């Protein structure tokens, strides 16, 4: 009894239908993923998120494969299963190797450890960092 | 009245002194940062963390500058001020530009947003992700 | 092999049985939810939580439907599936519409994004906020 | 030695200057807050965040004062000091009373407690929630 | 410009005054800490939290010193500075040694690391754990 | 379609095989848990984590059963299901009783609540804590 069900491609109308088509075209996929089909319960959220995500994730000073890895790193820290799965696969499609994913996970683990060592010991900011 | 004070370079002895010297040499700095001086309250934690961090952050399939950026991305998600400051600077020293930092922060923000959209809507894992 | 199993209504005795009856009466439900049946493994935790929750969630300066929405907002941020599901439904029972839930989720997503923009950029508190 | 400094109103040019003017006009304030002045280091992030935030926080099925309270609830859960301060004040400006803030904080505390009771006991989703 | 100021001992009346006296007596301190003086902005939250905390933190199957260490472990994971400081000191008053605190922090760091390794690799629950 | 599959005991070679044998011997178990079999996708992470975890979790100023309880407390706060399950069972094997686990969970819940009361009210550090 989920509160919101995914809006199927058949049910989609107007703005939602347009964005579905764009997603399939831009991502070169044949099926709209559940993430977008569920966001479609609020067409404003769907449109804003799709637009923002494309802007943020596009190649810039950082390659888009690195951006996906950062995305997964955040999702691991937050423990979001769907996000980890879908963006790990996106990273692989864009060229990330298993070695890169393994190393990213190792950094995420270590950063989470040292973040808490810093908090636990209440480390003061060094004068040369101020 | 912090529970643990940093162990100054003058106070350091034995194993701790050795690691302090190694940190300064490897990092090419003249002063041991507060993080290491505070961990020195437990020489096992100091040694293990220093060794692990070097192994995890060394250049591999991912460049060490990119590893620093992932490190900062995690620290932002956890809200660890010292960690964000010290590793942003480390990233810059290793070649990260302001544009790269700006884009990394944008990805971190967006990933934190979509992580919660996924949780809020309880998005189900797509059959093609299983 | 969960460490703690729910205490069924048949197994409940004394204080636990009393609270089970009160829960069903106050909430106007015919079955005690798993949350309470599992807390019953520690009757002090069961009683304290039931009493505290009623005090905190009762109508006051804020409507109880709005309190449920805040509750869900926190649960989304923490990624607690059971909590999101049960309190989304509670919110709907108390009058929350799908539009309200959609907007609440959008705010939760956006707040999680901007929280990290603030952390990433280490924004200083404005003088007019001090 | 922060990585990114706020862009002052005098330094602002083009798109950034326009958004600064809009922020002051829409929010009816005479000074651009540090949040926006810091985001201005990346004009895309500034524009996207300003546009998105207005869309998400506008009055809809939920009053904008309630949206601010949800925003603060998330920020408390994430421990983002700047966000808690600035949006508590925004909530008060929009009509939130001290009683409403007190009750919101109480719900946030309680939700964080019960979220962890659920996780600790690994409570299974009730059949009537599935 | 904090939203809520601590209620000083002189300003305290009725129920709040009573609880202030009880806190000083039970804790054997001469000054009410800021935590309680700030909660006093909502006398219900003050009373409920004081009562609950005493119940939860009292000696039981676990020593109260060990409960304080668990409390600090959670506070480190959440990055709550006030909570870490006040409960580290409480733990020391109740008999925790520096060695115990050092080891607790090491466990907190390691648990935060392995938690993310588990999430990153999406480790499946072993059949013998089900 | 998980990115990384567990490396079975039959597939394990060299360093990985050695560590598998050591895990089974030290832990007195007949089957390597999925956590270690999945980490084996990166033999460096496997070795480093196994070595670090043994060092951190060994009996010291704190009993190893208490260390397991702290470990679970962190895992509950992070919402890591696998970690909660496996370390709750480890704690029980090392002598933790159901009463101890119940009390630990109660402390974790309460600490998460008060952490957020502190953040929500922005409680200032007492002068006697500085």
Position B128 scores a pLDDT of 82
In the structure encoding, which two tokens stand for residue E126, read together? 């072993």
Same domain, C114 and C128: yes
Q: Are residues C82 and C38 in the same domain?
A: no
Instruction: Please check the confidence at residue E80 and state whether its pLDDT lies above 70.
Output: yes
Q: How many CB atoms lie within 10 A of CB F128?
A: 13
Q: How far is CA B38 from CA A115, F30, F67, in A?
A: 13, 40, 22
Token output for F110: 């309460």
Would you say how long chain E is, in residues? 130
Q: What is the pLDDT of residue A129?
A: 78
Residues A90, D40: Cα–Cα separation, whole Å: 30
E130 inside domain: no
- Same domain, yes or no: B128 and B78: yes
Does residue A98 sit in the same domain as residue A72? yes
D106: closest CA of chain E, how far (Å):
7
Instruction: Identify residues of A whose CB sits under 8 angstroms from chain C CBs.
Output: 1-4, 41-42, 44-45, 49, 78-80
Burial class (CB in 10 A: 0-12, 13-18, 19+), C47: middle
**Nearest residue in B to D43, CA atom:** B102
The answer to whether residues F50 and F86 belong to one domain is no
Please give the full DSSP string across A32-100, using - where no structure is assigned.
--HHHHHHTTSHHHHHHHHHHHHHHHSSSSS-HHHHHHHHHHHHHHHT-HHHHHHHHHHHHHTT--HHH
A70 and A53 part of one domain: no
Q: Which of F58, F79, F104 is the last residue of a domain?
A: F58
- Element at D86 (helix H, strand E): helix D81-93
F48 CA: distance to closest CA in chain B (Å): 7
- Out of C62, C83, C99, closest to residue D114 by CB: C83
Domain extent, residue C115, equals: 59-130
Domains identified in chain E, total number? 2
Distance of residue D65 Cα from the nearest chain C Cα, in angstroms: 11
B68 with B28, same domain: the answer is no
In a domain, A130, yes or no: no
Longest dimension (CA), chain E: 61
The residue from D58, D77, D96 where one domain ends is D58
Q: Do A78 and B77 touch (CB under 8 A)?
A: yes
Q: At what angle do helices A43-57 and A14-27 cross, to 10 degrees?
A: 20
In tens, the pLDDT along B55-94 reads 999 999 999 999 999 999 999 999 999 999 999 999 999 9
Give the C-alpha distances (Å, rounded to integers) separating F119 from A79, D17, E35, F53, F78: 22, 34, 10, 32, 18
Do both B9 and B52 map to the same domain?
yes
CA distance D45 to chain B (A): 7
Give tens-digit pLDDT for E83-107: 999 999 999 999 999 999 999 999 9
Are C47 and C64 within one domain?
Answer: no
Mean per-residue pLDDT for F39-50?
98
Task: Note whether A77 contacts B81, CB cutoff 8 Å.
Answer: no
List Cβ neighbours of B124 (8 Å cut-off, separation of 6 or more): A6, A34, A82
> Percent of chain B having pLDDT more than 90?
95
- Residues of chain D with C-beta less than 8 angstroms from the C-beta of A48: 52, 55-56
Of C2, C42, C78, the CB nearest to F102: C42
Give how far the C-alpha of residue B83 lies from the chain's centroid of Cα atoms, to the nearest Å: 6
List the structure tokens of B6: 């940093």
Instruction: Determine the pLDDT at residue C57.
Output: 97
Mutate to test the interface with D, among F116, F118, F121, F125 (most CBs of D within 10 A): F116
Which residue does chain C place closest to D40, by CA atoms?
C121
Task: State whether A102 and F42 contact (CB < 8 Å).
Answer: yes
**Residues A21, A68 within the same domain:** no
Q: The domain that contains F33 carries what CATH number?
A: 1.20.1290.10
Digit-coded pLDDT (tens) for B28-51: 999 999 999 999 999 999 999 999
Q: How far is CA B25 from the centre of its chain?
A: 19
- Answer whether residue D56 shows pLDDT above 80: yes
Tell the burial category of A61 from Cβ atoms under 10 Å away from its Cβ (0-12, 13-18, 19+): middle
- Domain end point (choices C57, C79, C97): C57
Alpha helices (H) along F41-121: 43-57, 64-78, 81-93, 98-121
Quick check: C4 and F98 CB within 8 A?
yes
Interface test with C, best of A1, A2, A3 (most C CBs within 10 A): A3
Domain annotation covers residue D48? yes
Q: Is residue D127 in a domain?
A: no
Instruction: Give the gap in angstroms from C-alpha A88 to the nearest C-alpha of chain E.
Output: 9
Nearest Cα to B111, choosing from D84, A53, A113, C105? A53
Q: Do A27 and A75 fall into the same domain?
A: no
The pTM assigned to this predicted structure is 0.97
Looking at chain F, the whole-number percentage of residues with pLDDT higher than 70 is 98
Residues of E in contact with F97 (CB under 8 A): 61
Q: How far is A29 from chain E (nearest CA, A)?
A: 25
Q: What is the pLDDT of residue B1?
A: 54
- The pairs formed by A19-28 with CB atoms below 8 angstroms and a separation of 24 or more are A19/A46, A19/A47, A19/A50, A22/A50, A23/A50, A26/A54
Q: What pLDDT, on a 0 to 100 scale, did the predictor assign at position F129?
A: 78
Across the range E66-85, mean pLDDT stands at 98
Residue D130 in any domain: the answer is: no
For the record, the structure tokens of C22 come out as 């009160």
> For each of chain A's 130 residues, which pLDDT tens digit applies?
568 999 999 999 999 999 999 999 999 999 999 999 999 999 999 999 999 999 999 999 999 999 999 999 999 999 999 999 999 999 999 999 999 999 999 999 999 999 999 999 999 999 887 7
Instruction: Please report residues of B whose CB lies closer than 8 A to that of F1.
Output: 128-130
Cβ pair E102:B41 closer than 8 A: yes
Q: Smallest Cα–Cα separation from A53: which of A39, A42, A41?
A: A39
Of all residues in chain E, the percent with pLDDT exceeding 90 is 95
Confidence of residue D90 (pLDDT cuts 50, 70, 90): very high
pLDDT below 70 — which residues of chain C?
A: 1-2
Compare all CA atoms of chain E with the CA of F126 and give the residue at the minimum distance: E34
Same domain, E49 and E71: no
Residue E45 to residue D102, Cβ atoms within 8 A = yes
Q: What is the pLDDT of residue A80?
A: 97
pLDDT digits (tens, 9 = 90+) for A112-123: 999 999 999 999
| Long-range interactions of D96-102: CB distance < 8 A, separation 24+ | D96/D65, D96/D68, D96/D69, D97/C61, D98/E3, D98/E4, D98/E41, D99/C60, D99/C61, D100/C61, D100/C62, D100/D69, D101/D69, D101/D72, D101/E3, D101/E4, D102/C61, D102/E4, D102/E41, D102/E42, D102/E45
Q: Residue range E51-56: average pLDDT?
A: 98
**pLDDT of B2:** 67
């Amino acid at each position: 009894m989920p509160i919101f069900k995914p809006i199927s491609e058949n049910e989609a109308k107007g703005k939602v239908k347009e964005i579905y088509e764009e997603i399939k075209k831009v991502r070169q996929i044949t099926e709209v993923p559940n993430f977008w089909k569920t966001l479609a319960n609020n067409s404003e959220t769907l449109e804003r998120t799709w637009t923002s995500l494309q802007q943020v994730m596009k190649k810039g000073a950082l390659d888009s494969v690195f951006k996906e890895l950062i995305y997964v790193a955040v999702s691991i820290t937050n423990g979001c299963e769907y996000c980890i799965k879908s963006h790990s696969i996106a990273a692989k499609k864009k060229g990330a190797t298993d070695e890169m994913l393994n190393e990213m996970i190792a950094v995420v683990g270590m950063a989470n450890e040292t973040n808490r060592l810093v908090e636990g010991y209440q480390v003061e900011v060094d004068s040369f960092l101020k």
